[in-house]
Amino acid sequence: MKPAREPEHLRTLLRRNAIERRVRQLGRQITADFRGQRLHLIGVLKGASIFLSDLIREIRLEVSLDFIAVASYGQSSRSSGQVRLTKDLDNSIEGLHTILVEDILDTGLTIAYLQRVLLQRKPRSLRVATLLSKAATRVKQVRPDYVGFEIPNEFVVGYGLDYAERYRNLRDICVLQLPAGR
């Protein structure tokens, strides 16, 4: 007989109201920083899609949008240390004020890689906005310009973040406690 699958436990870390408030503040800050300018947001698929869709509606500027995708974590909760582009931008960013929008900054490998790729395309400026940041696990020096929340070094899901493609639809951000051995 197959052993029963042990349950995965979710513990709420950031409630939907706190996320909503913080995203509104970030939108106001970005609006003030780029007043009178056109802005281009680049969302990193798929995790940043929910954050980006809320953030863009809090920015009171002329703003355009594009997406890029990288492969990193795959089906595991641990970083492979490898980053590769799996979907490129649709449009040129040359001469544009751009903000790279990420869900979470962990080791920094993903953002460091994307900054390198994007700077070669000569944007007028390139900033980084990340909803979450785990400062304790950084291996690459990356200084994000906008950070939603600093969080402890735990694996989180919800509000766009997944574990093996699940939990992206949770409204809160939760710590996922996996059964031993996974």
Which one among 29, 49, 79, 115 touches ligand 5GP, defined by CB under 6 A? 79
HSE-up (13 A, CA, CB side) for residue 17: 0
In terms of Cβ atoms closer than 10 Å to its own Cβ (0-12, 13-18, 19+), residue 76 is exposed
Give the angle subtended at the CA of 149 by the CAs of 57 and 88, to the nearest 5°: 60
Please tell me the distance from the alpha carbon of residue 60 to that of residue 48, in angstroms, as a whole number: 20
DSSP assigned state of 53: H
146-150 and 156-157 beta bridge pairing: unpaired
- Piece of the chain touching ligand 5GP by CB under 6 A; list 4-12, 29-37, 120-128, 149-157: 149-157
119 vs 135, which CB is nearer to ligand 5GP? 135
Counting contacts by CB under 6 A, is residue 29 touching ligand 5GP? no
CA–CA separation, 48 vs 18, rounded Å? 17
Stretch that binds ligand 5GP, among 15-23, 25-33, 118-126, 160-168 (CB under 6 A): 160-168
Active site (annotated) includes residue 106: yes
Give the separation between CA 110 and CA 114, rounded to whole angstroms: 6
Q: Which stretch binds ligand 5GP (CB under 6 A): 5-13, 24-32, 53-61, 71-79?
A: 71-79
Is residue 102 close enough to count as binding ligand 5GP by CB under 6 A?
yes
**Active-site residue identified among 54, 103, 106, 162:** 106
Q: How far is the CB of 63 from ligand 5GP (least distance, A)?
A: 22
- Annotated catalytic residues are 106
Under the rule (CB under 6 A), what is the footprint of ligand 5GP?
Answer: 47, 72-73, 79, 102-110, 155-157, 161-163
